[in-house]
Structure 1
Amino acid sequence: MDLAMLLAVAGLAQTPAPAKLPLPVELPAVANATADPTCGNRPALAERATCVVSTQAGVEGVLQAYEAVFTPQGWLVADASGNVVIYMKRKPEGGCDAFQVLAFADGEMAAPAAPAYLAFATIPRDICQAADPNAAAPAQ
């Protein structure tokens, strides 16, 4: 994950926040990350996500530590682009649970010791059903 991925979060605070949904995965304590209930002083984000803070130099290692926990539990990376990673896990009855991780930092300049954040939020829809071309279309 490069610095450009960490620096993008423009407009997020202006987006209306849905209620925070419980994550379908537990976030263990990992080295170099501390819980941040304020999500970097972004109230709208804090209403819908669970956040941790690290440093710009350390946040990539923190994300890798989380991925090392998620993978053995059956979570797969469904997409990773920009500063967002989407994890999914198939449900036995069909469909998928999913959550996303947003990486962001304050400011526009690289500062290795400055804070960098990971925001974890549930995706409130079944991303597998939406991607399945054989899924029935909703009645109109």
Structure 2
Amino acid sequence: MRYCLQCGSEYQEGVRECADCPGSMLVDAEALRQRHIAVSGEQDTRKFVRAATAEDPLTADDFVALLEKERIPVFCRPRRTGSVDVLTTGALEPWWEIMVGEEHLGRAIELLAQEKAQLDDTSDEAARAAEEEELETEATAPPHSAL
């Protein structure tokens, strides 16, 4: 049997390309195991660990998309369902945990740190632009007595 290197789907020997992942190589089961990809029909023994947390769903989605693009096995695990969780459980957990395959942890942390820095820079830049726009609006607004 042959397997898609990207998604792990199983194919007969004559098939040349994965139907779901055009351009992905088809390899034997041993090549999948070497890359820590679960082989169809076998128990998945990969261990996933927390690489990062996210406080909103958009950031969590961004982190997952980045890691998937780099072909790092990833999933996002919700930790809280609402603001009352803190009141009922007493534990303040992050909203989402970004979980990656243990063997990819170092690379994932590096990529996520770069992405977080870029997001922080963008956020700071947006805040400065909003402040400048507010000051400009206040400067051009008519005086209150004119209203």
Q: How does the TM-score come out when normalised to structure 1? A: 0.29
Greater Rg, structure 1 or structure 2?
Answer: 2
Name the structure where helix makes up a greater proportion of residues.
2
Which one has more relative contact order, counting CA pairs under 8 Å at least 6 apart?
1
Q: How does the TM-score come out when normalised to structure 2? A: 0.28
Name the structure where strand makes up a greater proportion of residues.
1
